[in-house]
Each structure stands twice: as structure tokens, then as C-alpha cells.
């Protein structure tokens, strides 16, 4: 197992444990996340991020900072807006690096070696998920494919809505009213 595979497996394991424990069996149309429509929407987001050089070959870099589970031991976070299907919304892109002990200079010199996942929040149109500030959540592997939980559900959409653990359950604990832990560092346009 390579370093990036271990990091990806560790991050996925932490998220997946919460998803598996909290999810009950449901049909595809009843699932709060991971549907084909969610996967299709996530693909559109990936394409916009690639065009903006936020992911993929030649992606812009920033100075990584220390992170923690479930994201990564080093992180880069980008705040911007994007237009998806005619809707402009806030886009938060977090690159998750590992393994434990990795340092910023290692990430900067070999980002592809240390990148475990890219986690994204995109604020969709009003009414998409009003209880959770209309955020669409996605977790991508470095190649742009969606990560999956142990039950095979793609991690895109209202990820772990109604669960005791997972994206939404964690982010409802963020200070302020935007579900962002780092929003005190930047002024976000819009809501």
C-alpha cells in the first residue's frame, strides 16, 4: 500500500464508519445522498474545478496548514464561487493530504504523492437543502472519481443527512451560521 493509498484509506475509514453505523437500508431514490443525480452533479463541479485549476494536473497550490481527521494531516482550502447549471454559488475546495507526520514542504514538493482526497462544499440554489444551508457535499479521490462508503454509496449530495456522524453532522457544529469551520478567516459573499 502506498503512502497516498494509506492516507486515503484512513480518511475514508473514519468517514465510512460513521456513515455505515448511522445509515439504514434505503432504496436509491430514498437515499439522502449518493444517487446518480448526485454523481452527475458532482461531475459538473469537478469539471468547473478542473477548469479553474483547483484540481488535477497543474492545480494551483497554496501553503498547506495542519489538519486533522477526517480530512487530512495537512490541508489546503480554497474559497471561490462557481456556476453550475446556471446557478452561481459559494465553492469551498479542501485538498486532504497525509499520512500522519507529513510536513508542508513535503506536500509542496510532491503533492500528488500525499493527496488523499478532495472534499467539496458547494452552495446550491435556495431550497436544495434549507436545513443545511443548501450545501452540496462531495468527496473525490485524486483522479476525480467519487469516493464511496463501505455500503458502496457515492459520497456526493446531502452526505450523511440525518446521520449521527459524517459531513453534515460534523459541520452543524461550526461557529456562525454557515457550516464552515474556517469562515472566520475569510469574508464569504452571499448568504
**Is residue 28 in a domain?**
no
**Is residue 63 in a domain?**
yes
**Is residue 179 in a domain?**
yes
Q: Quick: pLDDT tens for 7-43.
A: 333 333 333 333 333 333 344 456 778 899 999 999 9
**Is residue 123 in a domain?**
yes
What's the domain count of the chain? 1
**Is residue 191 in a domain?**
no
Q: Are 134 and 127 in contact (CB under 8 A)?
A: yes
pLDDT of residue 172: 77
Minimal CA–CA distance to 157: which of 71, 28, 37, 22?
37
Across the range 95-122, mean pLDDT stands at 94
**Is residue 190 in a domain?**
no
Alpha carbon 162 to its chain centroid, in Å, reads 18
Residues spanned by the domain of 133? 3-23+33-185
Q: Quick: pLDDT tens for 40-86.
A: 999 999 999 999 999 998 999 999 998 877 778 889 999 999 999 99
Strand boundaries in the chain, DSSP class E: 65-66, 74-84, 87-97, 115-123, 135-140, 156-157
**Is residue 165 in a domain?**
yes
Q: Are 110 and 102 in contact (CB under 8 A)?
A: no
Q: Are 119 and 86 in contact (CB under 8 A)?
A: no
Q: When comparing pLDDT for 89 and 18, which is higher?
A: 89
User: Is pLDDT at 187 greater than 70 in this prediction?
Assistant: no
Amino acid at each position: 500500500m502506498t503512502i497516498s493509498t494509506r492516507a486515503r484509506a484512513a480518511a475514508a475509514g473514519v468517514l465510512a464508519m460513521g456513515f455505515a453505523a448511522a445509515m439504514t437500508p434505503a432504496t436509491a431514490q430514498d437515499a439522502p445522498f449518493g444517487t446518480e443525480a448526485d454523481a452527475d452533479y458532482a461531475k459538473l463541479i469537478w469539471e468547473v474545478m478542473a477548469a479553474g485549476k483547483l484540481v488535477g494536473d497543474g492545480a494551483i497550490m497554496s501553503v498547506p496548514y495542519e489538519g486533522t481527521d477526517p480530512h487530512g494531516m495537512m490541508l489546503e482550502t480554497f474559497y471561490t464561487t462557481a456556476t453550475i447549471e446556471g446557478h452561481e454559488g459559494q465553492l469551498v475546495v479542501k485538498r486532504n493530504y497525509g499520512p500522519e507526520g507529513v510536513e508542508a514542504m513535503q506536500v509542496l514538493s510532491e503533492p500528488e504523492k500525499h493527496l488523499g482526497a478532495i472534499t467539496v462544499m458547494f452552495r446550491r440554489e435556495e431550497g436544495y437543502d434549507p436545513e443545511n444551508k443548501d450545501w452540496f457535499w462531495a468527496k473525490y479521490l485524486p483522479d476525480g472519481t467519487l469516493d464511496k462508503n463501505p455500503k458502496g454509496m457515492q459520497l456526493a449530495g446531502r452526505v450523511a443527512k440525518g446521520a449521527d456522524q459524517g459531513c453534515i453532522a460534523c459541520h452543524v457544529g461550526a461557529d456562525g451560521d454557515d457550516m464552515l469551520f474556517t469562515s472566520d478567516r475569510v469574508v464569504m459573499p452571499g448568504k
